[in-house]
Amino acid sequence: MHQNKIKVLGIDFYNGPVCRVVDFLKNGGLLVVPPAPGLINIKKDKIYYYSLLKADVVIPDSGYMVLLWNITHREKINRISGLEFLQCFFNDPEVKNTKSILLVNPRPSEAKANTAYLNSIGFHISEDCSYQAPLYGSKKVEDPVLLQLINQKRPHYILINIGGGIQEKLGIWLKENLDYKPAIICTGAAIAFLTGMQANIPSWADKLYLGWLLRCIQNPKLFVPRYLRSFKLIFILLRYGKKGPSFSI
């Protein structure tokens, strides 16, 4: 894994086949999938930026970031979407056979949909394998109740399916406070593309970087402003390049 990385904004983005990420996580570690709307905040949101810097695997999910980088740099990045990763992860026979998994969901409706979907494709997820996350603040994200639950149940895989910008902070806090090393997977709403809770994204649209467009069509009030703000990323990449902004916590 170490040789397959490209540094962008100081963050070590993984640059290799998605199947190797799944194999790597079988030994534990924190995976994050930062979108463009998150990357534009790295200078202001230091805890979020810290979580990206300290993650074990950072997937280059943002098609906008990948396009900008590949246009302006000789060393190219292979995009891996959160959706592509989850499809590979869920299809892995060893992962599918595990009964040691915990879902962290934002609402009961998502918990029901996520559990039903996983069971429909061959998993064995019971109700006690799902945790409903409270409403976290935007700065420090800590959850002692979840920490105690994980230390007691000791799941091998923890899927955090809450919003971007929050889940990464929860992920790094768990990584630094758990008494063992599970795989902590922060893919947020990506599972909702599979369950039908968000716009269905066909494989061809995902490969053509058009997932953002389908999301905007389904929910323009939410996603159009979010993606318009993401245009700032071009100026951040031009200013900081590989190095990224300096910070201290």
Q: Is the pTM above the cut of 0.85?
A: yes
How many helices (H) and strands (E) the chain has is answered by 14, 8
The Cα angle at residue 57 between residues 51 and 62, in degrees rounded to 5: 80
Q: pLDDT tens, 176-202?
A: 999 999 999 999 888 988 887 665 665
121-124: long-range pairs with CB below 8 Å, 24+: 121/90, 121/96, 122/96, 123/90, 123/96, 124/99
Summary mean pLDDT of the chain: 86
State residue 199's pLDDT score: 53
Q: Are 141 and 169 contacting, i.e. CB atoms less than 8 angstroms apart?
A: yes
- In Å, how far are 11, 44, 93, 110, 187 from 34, measured between CA atoms? 10, 15, 27, 21, 9
Provide the pLDDT for residue 217: 65
Instruction: Round the CA-based radius of gyration of the chain to a whole number and report it.
Output: 17
Count of positions (residues) in the chain: 249
Sign of torsion over alpha carbons 216, 136, 90, 110? negative
CA distance 158 to 182: 7
Q: pLDDT band for 126, please (50, 70, 90 cuts).
A: confident
Question: What dihedral do alpha carbons 155, 96, 20, 240 form, nearest 10°?
Answer: -60
pLDDT at 247: 66
Q: Count the Cβ atoms, other than its own, within 10 Å of residue 16.
A: 14
